[in-house]
Structure 1
Amino acid sequence: MVRASLIANLEKKGVVLSEDEKALVLTSFETVYLKKREYLLEEGEVCDFEVFVVSGCCKAYFIDDRGQDHIIYFAVEDWWLADLESYHLGTPTRYYIQALEDSEILRIPKIVKEPLYEKIPALERIYRLTLQQECVALQRRINNKLSMDAAMEYDDFCNRYPSLVQRLTNIQIASYLGISQEFLSKIRRRNKD
């Protein structure tokens, strides 16, 4: 059941796998259970894996010189998660990836994933499509930061990710938007009026 969600995600992106290919993909991933607040990755480590979130919610964030958290993104069911810079360049990460809820993930090490592309070339297409989606989301986020005020950004976040709004605390949403929790509370009060 757990691993079936991974295959469904791949097939949803238009790749049809034979039974042998499905078996190969599934044996390439390891199941990892994270407790709420447990870390998958910490600053200074190299992110040599990618994960698929089966259940739960995780955040990727960094801490600035003043000790302030800045959430870069969230990942929930059916989403992929990694620090792409560290993964592709082999450099130490500046990020933390932490479970916000008890989470079940499927992790694939880079040394396993790369040879898998040679055996199943269709997976490279999946990876390209996933990267495209991530680029679009990041570009949208940058555009929002440059062209919207905080209230507009919050409204956009709520419209794009309504289920996330229900699962996250005000502190987490405020950190993602780059505003204080108090300012987010003012925005929410204004929206209720």
Structure 2
Amino acid sequence: MFDILFSHIQNKVDLSDEEKTELQSFFISKKLRKKQYLLQEGEICKYISFVSKGLLKSYFVDEKANEHINMFAFEGWWISDFNSFIHQEKAVLNIEAIEETELLMITYEDYENMMLKIPVMDRYFRILYQNSLVTKDYRLIVSNSFTAEEKYIQFAKKNPEVIQRIPHSLIASYLGLAPETVSRIRRKISLQKLDSDQ
């Protein structure tokens, strides 16, 4: 279960064997069934979680009961309601498993202790947070300036390994599009691919 985490960390920083052994002591493992919640709005987010297997969605529900997806997290991704986790305030996000999922989870206290005892992890998370800010900025640009088709194509290019695992209604919610629009775009792309293959 830790192999994927170690691989992800070592893509960004170097970990010694001793640090790997110590790192494992800070985490607990958890399995979720499909459609099971990791977190519900109004709860305090007690963990930041690493996805070692499976797929989750993070979302909020508006006053009209419409679901707005904030992010998807699959193998090699971290997920949390970060404001709730860091400030220990009530969560505004729900986190739910789209597939059967296996997680490695760390509490805020253990997260802080880990940074002190394994300083390279502080650098690792700093790199993650920097990348996250870049991604959020780019997503805002895409949201405000791309056509519906361009939004879908960009999402598919950035997430080729999971595009078939996510129902198109959820992709539509993430992109801020109607499900029918995503269906139409997918059909158009399939037809274009078919034409180019002939």
When normalised by structure 1's length, the TM-score is: 0.95
Correspondence for 2:110: 112
How many equivalent pairs are there? 191
Quote the residue 2:142 is aligned against: 144
- Supply the distance in 2 between the matched residues of 1:124 and 1:58 (Cα, whole angstroms): 25
Distance in 2, Cα, partners of 1:188 & 1:22: 43
In structure 2, stretches of 5+ residues that fail to align are 193-198
Q: Give 1:20 deviation, angstroms.
A: 2.5
Instruction: Write the letter of the residue equivalent to 1:84.
Output: F
The answer to whether the 8 A contact 1:145-1:153 is kept is: yes
Q: Does the CA contact (< 8 Å) of 2:4 and 2:52 recur in 1? A: yes
Match of 1:16 in 2: 15
- Cα distance in 2 between the residues matched to 1:171 and 1:14: 37
Paired AA for residue 11 in structure 2: K
One of 47, 50, 61 as aligned partner of 2:48: 50
Counterparts of 1:33-182 in structure 2 under 5 Å?
A: 33-182=31-180
For 1:66, give the aligned amino acid.
K
Task: Measure how far apart 1:189 and its partner are.
Answer: 2.4
Q: Confirm or deny: 8 A CA contact 2:13 2:123 kept in the other structure.
A: no
How many angstroms apart in 2 are the aligned matches of 1:8 and 1:189? 37
2:132 corresponds to which letter in structure 1? E
Taking the aligned partners of 2:80 and 2:132, their CA distance within structure 1 comes to 11
How far residue 188 of structure 1 moved from its aligned partner, in angstroms, is 1.9
Give the secondary structure class of the aligned counterpart of 1:165.
coil
Deviation track 1:83-113 (CA, whole Å, cap 9, x = no partner) reads 1121222221111000100000100011111
Q: Is the 8 A contact 1:51 1:105 kept in 2?
A: yes
Say whether the 8 Å CA contact 2:54–2:101 is kept in structure 1.
Answer: yes
In the alignment, which residue of structure 1 is the partner of 2:4? 5
Q: Is the 8 A contact 2:39 2:93 kept in 1?
A: yes
The aligned amino acid for 2:163 is V
Unaligned stretches of 5+ in structure 1?
Answer: none
Larger mean CA deviation between 86-95 and 168-177 belongs to 86-95
- Give the alignment's Cα RMSD to 1 decimal: 1.1
Amino acid at match of 1:60: S
Report the alpha carbon displacement of residue 37 of structure 1 after superposing the two structures with TM: 0.4
Letter in 1 for 2:121: L
- Given that residues 15 and 126 in structure 1 are in contact (C-alpha distance below 8 angstroms), is that contact kept between their aligned partners in structure 2? no
Runs of 4+, deviation exceeding 3 Å: none
Partner in structure 1 of residue 196 of structure 2: none
The answer to whether the 8 Å contact 2:41/2:93 transfers is yes
Counterpart AA for 1:167: R
Aligned-pair identity in percent equals 33
Determine the C-alpha separation between the residues in 1 that align with 2:133 and 2:114: 23
